[in-house]
Amino acid sequence: MIKTVFIVLAVAVAAFLLFAATRPDTFTVERSITISAPPAKVHALIDDLRAYNTWNPYAKKDPQMKLTYRGAPKGVGAGFDFEGNKESGKGSIDVLESDAGKVVMALRMTSPMEADNRVVYKLVPKGDATEVSWTMGGAVPYMAKVIHLVINIDKMVGKDFEQGLTDLKSLAEKP
């Protein structure tokens, strides 16, 4: 009886691990919002990393997070290193591209897990408003595939993106 239970458990674990191997090699999380402000005003709140961290949900979740700014004050070459609690982790953000319609950043995490993701903010004029989409994507190594079977990354990170976009909207719509 114990041998049968062990065999069934071993087969179930093996099936779970094999199924994880079939999952996608990349992930993407995206959320959008319409902000009643011109693209230039919204862009300034993303492109300037000090302004960025006034609405960045991860900086807001961890007020004790250590931020070390480096490089240009804004735009390409701007960056910061962060070290926070277990949830926010440790890593860096660097602006790779910046123009009126898009800001692209590199998010490199060193803790709690290593990751090298791209973050893209697209700004599309819509009359007197701006549609802002926040996208993050990157590679999913095997262990992350296993984790993604248990934790829905889209829901987990998506909630943070939604909160961040709501806070960005509040700031950008102030007179």
- Over its length of 175 residues, how does the chain's per-residue pLDDT go in tens digits? 788 888 888 888 888 778 778 887 889 999 999 999 999 999 999 999 999 999 999 998 888 999 999 999 999 999 999 999 877 889 999 999 999 999 999 999 999 888 999 999 999 999 999 999 999 999 888 888 888 788 888 888 899 999 999 999 999 999 8
CA distance 97 to 110: 22
Contact 162, 31 (CB under 8 A): yes
Position 7 scores a pLDDT of 84
Contact 95, 103 (CB under 8 A): yes
Asked, for residue 133, whether it belongs to a domain, the answer is yes
Position 112 scores a pLDDT of 87
CA distance 154 to 30: 8
Position 159 scores a pLDDT of 95
Asked, for residue 66, whether it belongs to a domain, the answer is yes
Asked, for residue 4, whether it belongs to a domain, the answer is no
Q: What are residue 90's DSSP bridge partners?
A: 83, 111
Position 70 scores a pLDDT of 97
Position 76 scores a pLDDT of 97
Asked, for residue 97, whether it belongs to a domain, the answer is yes
> For the whole model, what pTM was predicted?
0.87
CA distance 79 to 106: 9
Position 173 scores a pLDDT of 97
Q: How many domains does the chain have?
A: 1
Asked, for residue 14, whether it belongs to a domain, the answer is no
Asked, for residue 50, whether it belongs to a domain, the answer is yes
CA distance 129 to 21: 43
- Here the CATH number for the domain that contains residue 104 is 3.30.530.20
DSSP characters over 128-171? TEEEEEEEEEEE--HHHHHHHHHS-HHHHHHHHHHHHHHHHHHH
CA distance 36 to 32: 13
**Full domain range(s) for residue 106:** 26-172
Asked, for residue 12, whether it belongs to a domain, the answer is no
Asked, for residue 17, whether it belongs to a domain, the answer is no
